[in-house]
Amino acid sequence: MSAAAIPSCQIIEAHAPTLISNILTLAWRELRDALRARSFLLYSLAFLALGLGVSYVSAAGTGSLGLSGFGRTTAGLINIVLLVVPLMALTTGASAIASDRERGMLLFLLAQPVSRLEVVLGKFLGLSGALIACITLGLGACSLVLAWQGGATEPRTMLWLAGLSVLLALSMLSVGMLISALARKASVAVGTGVFLWLALVFVTDLGLMAGTLALRLPVKTLFLLTLSNPLQAFKMWALHSIDASIDVLGPAGLYAMDTYHDALPWMFGASMAAWIVLPLVAAALIFRTRSPV
Amino acid sequence: MNANRSNLAPRVAILAVSCLVGLCPTTASAQDSMQAPNEKSAGVHDSAGVEINAGTIGRLIKAAKPGDIVHVPAGVYREHIRIDKPLSLIAEGRVVIDGMSSGDIVEIAAPNVTLRGFVVRDTGIDLDKENAAIRVLADHTVIENNTLEDILFGIDLKQAPDAVVRGNFIGGKDLDIARRGDGLRLWRSDRVLIENNTIHDGRDAILWYSQNVTVRNNTSRRCRYGFHLMYSDDVVMENNELTHNSVGIYLMYSKVVTIRGNRLLANRGPSGYGIGLKEADQFSISDNLIAGNRAGIYLDGSPFTKLKPGDISRNTIACNDVGLTFLPSVKGNVIAANNFVDNIEQVCVSGRGELTGNDFAADERGNFWTDYAGYDANADGIGDFAHESVTLFENLLDREPKLRILLFSPAQQAIEFVGRAIPAIRPEPKFFDPSPLTRPVPVATNAGAAPSRLSLAICGLGLASIASLVYVSSRAFAHTTRRKGVVA
C-alpha cells in the first residue's frame, strides 16, 4: 500500500498533476486525518459496542434454544446500523469541506495544483475508506462474537449486511458533503448533518406513520415513499438478502413482492445509488462556485 | 388465498387437454411397454374414457382370486387399474404405473386391499374430476411405501375407514397453487392411520368428516395447508414436520384434537400460520416447535364452547412475525409454560382489543417471554413482576398492519419510548401474565443444523482484516509523507 502512495506524492512534488493520482493523494490524507480524529474513534467504539451487545444478547436468546437461520440477529444489527452509520457518515461528510474552509486549509489546498473536482472526489474517497474501516471492524467483531456464541447467523448474511452498510454510509457521506459544500462554518454544517440524521431516522418515519393512519395511504404509495428514504431502502434490501422476501414487512412488503418480484433488489439498489451519486454531483457543482474562505 | 376458485381460462385448458387425452385411449394402451395384447372386449372405462385393467397389471388382477398376494415384476406399466377384490398387490423392484396424464391411475374398490411399493405417476389434471393417483373406495386398505409423482390428487380415501397410509412419498404437479389437487384427502373415513408420509408441492392434506384419525411423523412442505381438518374430531397429530407451507395445521370446526410434538417452521404468505384454529373446540396444543412463521398460532373463535379450555402449553413459539394472533372475541384459552422467543410481535389482537378472557398462566406458572423486563429476586424461576404487553408501536401495528413496513427502524423504538414515558398515551395492556418464567421451559427444539461457526468466524476475520488493511495503509502513507516532507 505504501508503494502505491509514494509515486502519487512524487507527482505532486514534480508539479505534474493527473486526476487519479491527485485524487488518491488527497484521499490518503483525508483517510489518515479521519482515522486520527477523536469523533471517529468514538463512533467506531459506539458502533462496536452496540453491535456486540446485540450479537451477544440475541445469540444468548435464540442461540441457546438451537434456533437459527430466522435472521433475528441480523434484524437487530440492521437496527444498530440504521442508528449509527448515518450519523457517523453525515457528520463526517458535513465537516469534510466546511472545517477545512474555516481553518483556511482549503485556501492552502486549492493553491496546490489540484482541481476542485479532485478535492471533492479525494475527500469522498478518503472518508469512504475510513467509514468502510469502521463498518467492517464493527460487523467483523460481531461475526466473531456470533461464531463464538454458537453461529446463529449465516456468513453470507453478515457479508451482505456489511456491503449494504457501506452503501448506506456512502449515500449519507455524499449527503454530508453536499451540506459541507453549502455551509460556511463547520459547526453549522455538522449541526445540519445531525438535524438531517434526525429527519431521516425518525421524522420521516413518524411522518409516514401519521400519514398512513390519518390519510389511509394506499400500500403502493406507502411502499414507494418508504423506498425513497435511503435508510429504509437499505433496511428492505438487507431483509430481502436474508431470505429473498420482505413479506415480514406486512401488507406493503407483500404488495412489493407480488408486484415487483425480482426487480425489487434493483429498486433498492437504484434508490441507494441515486442517494450516493446525486448529492455528490451537487456537492461538486456547488463547491466549484464557492469561495475557499 | 382463495385457491378453490380457478378462473375460466385454465378450466377451459384443462377441459381441452382431458378431451384430447380421452380421444386416444387405444393409442395409450398400445404403448404398454410389456407389449401385452389388448383385450378389446374389456368394457370398463374410467371417467376420462380410458380403458381400465387393460394392461398387464390389470390382467394379473383379473386372474387373481380374492385373498391372493400378487407380485408385480419390475417395469413401466402404462395403464389404469381397478382393484375390485381383496388382494395384496406388491411391487417387486421398481414398478412404475404411468397414468399417461389422464384420469385416475389406481382405484381400490374392494375392502382389505394392500398396495405396496409402487411408483404411481402422471395423473390427469382435471380438478373437476379430481384425478387421483390412488383412490380408495373401501375399508381396511393398506397403502404403503409408494411413491407418487407428478400427480394432481395423491391418495384419496372416500368412505374408506380403517385404512393405513404409511411411508408414501407424494409429490404434486408443478402447477399454480389454484390448479393443484390435494396430496392426501380423507372423506368420511374414520380410524385411519397416516404415518411417515412425505407430501410436497400439493394443495392440502385434508381430513373431511373423519373421526379418530392418527397423523404422525409425516412431512409436508411447499403445500397450501400442511394438514387441514374439517369437521374431523378425535384426531391426534404428533411429530409431524410441516415447513414452508402456507399454513402448517389448520383446524376448522373440529373438536377433541391433540397437536403434540410437531415442528411447524417457516409457514408464510398472506395467511401464513403455524397452526390456525377456526371454531375448533377441546383442543390441546403442546410441545410443538413453532418458528419462523408469519403467525405462530392463529385463534379465531376457538375454543368454540366452554366444555374445556383451549390448552396451549409447553410450545416453543419463536422468531415468528407474530407469536399468537387472536381475533378480539377469542376467550377461554389457557396459555402456560410456553417459550415466547424473539417473535417480532409476541401477541397480537387483530384489530385491537384485550385478551381478558384468556389465562396466561396455570397453577401460578406463566410463560417465558424474551421481552420480559422484570427480575427474580428470590430465584424461584418466576419473575417478581407480572408481564404486561404495553407497547404503543404494536398497538399501532394491530390497528394498521400496513405500518409493518417500518419495522426494525429506530422510529419504532422512539414510539415505544414515548409510549412508556408518557402515561397519557400509554395503551392498555393487551394481556397479562401474572407469573412469567425467567428461564425457558426445557424443550427439544433443534430447528435444523446451525450454520458453520468456522465459516462465520472466517467471515468475521475477513471483515476485520479489511478494517486493519485500511488503517495500516493510512499509517504507511503518513509515514511516507513525513519522510518526503510533504505537508499535505
User: Mean pLDDT of all residues in chain B?
Assistant: 86
**Higher-confidence position of B468 and A60:** B468
Domain assignment present for residue A5? The answer is no
Whether residue A11 is contained in a domain is answered as no
User: What range does the domain containing A134 cover?
Assistant: 19-289
Q: A2 in a domain, yes or no?
A: no
Q: What is the pLDDT of residues A140-181, one digit of tens each?
A: 999 998 888 776 678 888 999 999 999 999 999 999 999 999
pLDDT in tens, B38-61: 443 445 666 666 678 888 999 999
Touching check for A67 and chain B: CB below 8 Å?
yes
Q: Chain B within 8 Å of A131 (Cβ-Cβ)?
A: no
Write out chain A residues lying below 8 Å of B446, CB-based. 66
pLDDT at B115: 97
Residue A15 has pLDDT above 50, yes or no: no
**Predicted confidence (pLDDT) at residue B445 exceeds the cutoff of 60:** no
Sort B267 into a burial class: Cβ within 10 Å, 0-12 / 13-18 / 19+: buried
State whether B341 and A61 contact (CB < 8 Å).
yes
Nearest Cα to Cα of residue B132 among B110, B158, B111: B158
Q: Is the pLDDT of residue B240 over 80?
A: yes
Please tell me whether the peptide bond between A86 and the residue prior to it is cis, using omega within 30 degrees of 0. Answer: no
* Domain contains B431: no
- What are the phi and psi torsion angles at B463 (to 5°)? -65, -45
Which residues of chain B from 168 to 207 reach within 8 Å of chain A, CB to CB? none
Q: Is A25 on the interface with B (CB under 8 A)?
A: yes
Whether A220 and chain B come into contact, CB under 8 Å, resolves to no
- Asked whether residue B17 is domain-assigned, the answer is yes
Neighbouring residues of B261: CB distance < 8 A, sequence distance ≥ 6: B238, B239, B286, B287, B288
Say yes or no: A104 contacts chain B, CB-CB below 8 A. no
Position A148 in a domain: yes
Reply yes or no on whether the pLDDT at B10 is more than 60.
Answer: no
End-to-end CA distance of chain A: 34
Residue B419 lies in a domain: no
Domain extent, residue B464, equals: 457-488
Contacts of B488 in chain A (CB under 8 A): 12, 25-26, 29, 109, 112
Assess if residue A7 is contained within a domain: no
Q: Is residue B390 part of a domain?
A: no
Is the CB of B404 less than 8 angstroms away from the CB of A226? Answer: no
Q: Which of B143, B174, B205 is the last residue in one of the domains?
A: B174
Largest CA distance in chain B: 107
Judge whether B440 is closer than 8 Å to chain A, CB to CB: yes
* A192 within a domain of the structure (yes/no): yes
Quickly count: other Cβ atoms within 10 Å of residue B103's Cβ: 26
Instruction: Say how many domains are in chain B.
Output: 2
Instruction: Calculate how close chain B gets to A92, using CA atoms only, in Å.
Output: 17
Q: Answer yes or no: is A6 within a domain.
A: no
Q: Which residue of chain B comes nearest to A209, CA vs CA?
A: B403
Residue A229 · residue A200 · CB < 8 Å: yes
Which DSSP string corresponds to B74-124? SEEE--BEEE-SS-EEEEEEEEEEE-TTSS-SEEE-SSS-EEEEEEEE---
List all residues of chain A from 39 to 58 with a beta carbon under 8 Å from chain B.
58
Chain A nearest CA to B471, separation (Å): 7
CB contact under 8 A, B294 and A247: yes
* Confidence (pLDDT) at A67: 66
Residue A3 within any structural domain of the chain = no
Which contacts qualify for B62-69: CB closer than 8 Å, 24 or more apart? B66/B110
Provide the number of CB pairs (under 8 Å) joining chain A to chain B. Answer: 251
- Please state, in angstroms and rounded to a whole number, the distance separating the CA atoms of residues B202 and B183: 5
- Count the domains in chain A: 1
Residue B127 included in any domain? yes
* Within a domain: B218: no
Question: At a CB cut-off of 8 Å and minimum separation 6, what does B62 contact?
Answer: B53
Residue B478, domain member (yes or no): yes
Tell whether B190 is covered by a domain: no
Query: β-pairing, B339-341 with B214-216?
Result: unpaired
Contact present, B80 and B51 (Cβ < 8 Å): yes
Quick one: three-class SS letters along A265-277?
Answer: HHHHHHHHHHHHH
What does the pLDDT look like over B304-351, one tens digit per residue? 999 999 999 999 999 899 999 999 889 999 999 999 988 989 998 887
B133 burial type by CB count under 10 A (0-12 exposed, 13-18 middle, 19+ buried): buried
DSSP state of B196: S
Give yes or no for A111 touching B (CB within 8 A).
no
Contacts of B448 in chain A (CB under 8 A): 68-69
Where does the pLDDT of residue B2 fall: very low under 50, low under 70, confident under 90, or very high at 90 and above? very low
Among A24, A85, A146, CA closest to A272: A85
Residue A266 cell numbers, joined? 434493483
pLDDT for B257: 97
Query: Is the Cβ pair B467, A13 closer than 8 Å?
Result: no
Contacts of B477 in chain A (CB under 8 A): 1-2, 5, 28-29, 31-32
